[in-house]
């Protein structure tokens, strides 16, 4: 099963997704894909807060920091495990950008399909994959081609993941609004 959680930056979606992953992995491990690097003090503080939330159940969490081997993750999954990807927008940016340069501008669509296939493959090997991602386009369409391509392919990924998801929700101001399916209890 895929569970998709989106919302604005700082909406509370990560905390809600973590709680969902804990419920879903009642006896299994939770493979946490940490997609954000601690490249400044603000992000380092956010990462520490995420780690503190997981501290009480630390033995159940297997942390995979981006970049990581998706094959290694797939091979280690058991049927009762859950994967939590937090967050797709950050991971996708790391896939496409190096600094201010594009790594794969011409192959962004192909890379998006590969990423989608990986998430689907994980979902086929474990109990659930919980994907966290930021909402985009609410601030308008960017002028530069690179950012637009990033947002366009991410929007396509969102649509594909929600289509494959058993449950999809939006988080606003810490409140969960289920848009598809039944939220895992």
Residues 6 or more apart from 119 whose CB is under 8 A from it?
A: 2, 85, 129, 131, 161
Q: Which of 15, 22, 47, 50 does the annotation list as catalytic?
A: 50
| Residue set of the binding site for GTP | 7-14, 34-36, 65, 86
Give the chain's domain count.
1
What is the pTM for the complete model shown? 0.88
Q: Provide the domain limits for residue 71.
A: 2-181
For residue 139, name the pLDDT band (cuts at 50, 70, 90): low
| Angle between helices 88-96 and 145-164 in degrees, nearest 10 | 140
C-alpha span between 124 and 117 (Å, rounded): 11
Indicate if 31 belongs to the active site: no
CATH number, domain of 100, equals 3.40.50.300
For residue 126, pLDDT over 90 is answered with: yes
Q: Are residues 172 and 7 in contact, defined by beta-carbon separation less than 8 angstroms? A: yes
For residue 19, pLDDT over 70 is answered with: yes
C-alpha span between 55 and 158 (Å, rounded): 30
């Amino acid at each position: 099963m895929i569970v998709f959680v989106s919302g604005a930056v700082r909406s509370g979606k990560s905390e809600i997704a973590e709680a969902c992953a804990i419920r879903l992995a009642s006896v299994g491990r939770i493979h946490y894909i940490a997609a954000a690097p601690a490249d400044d003090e603000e992000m380092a503080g956010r990462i520490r807060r995420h780690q503190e939330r997981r501290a009480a159940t630390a033995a159940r969490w297997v942390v995979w920091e981006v970049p990581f081997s998706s094959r290694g993750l797939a091979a280690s999954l058991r049927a009762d495990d859950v994967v939590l990807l937090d967050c797709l927008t950050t991971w996708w940016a790391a896939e496409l950008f190096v600094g201010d340069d594009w790594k794969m501008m011409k192959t962004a669509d192909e890379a998006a399909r590969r990423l989608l296939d990986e998430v689907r493959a994980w979902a086929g090997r474990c109990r659930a994959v919980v994907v966290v991602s930021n909402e985009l386009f609410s601030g308008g369409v960017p002028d530069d081609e690179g950012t637009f391509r990033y947002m366009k392919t991410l929007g396509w990924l969102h649509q594909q993941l929600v289509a494959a998801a058993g449950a999809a929700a939006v988080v606003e101001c810490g409140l969960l609004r289920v848009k598809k399916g039944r939220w895992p209890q």
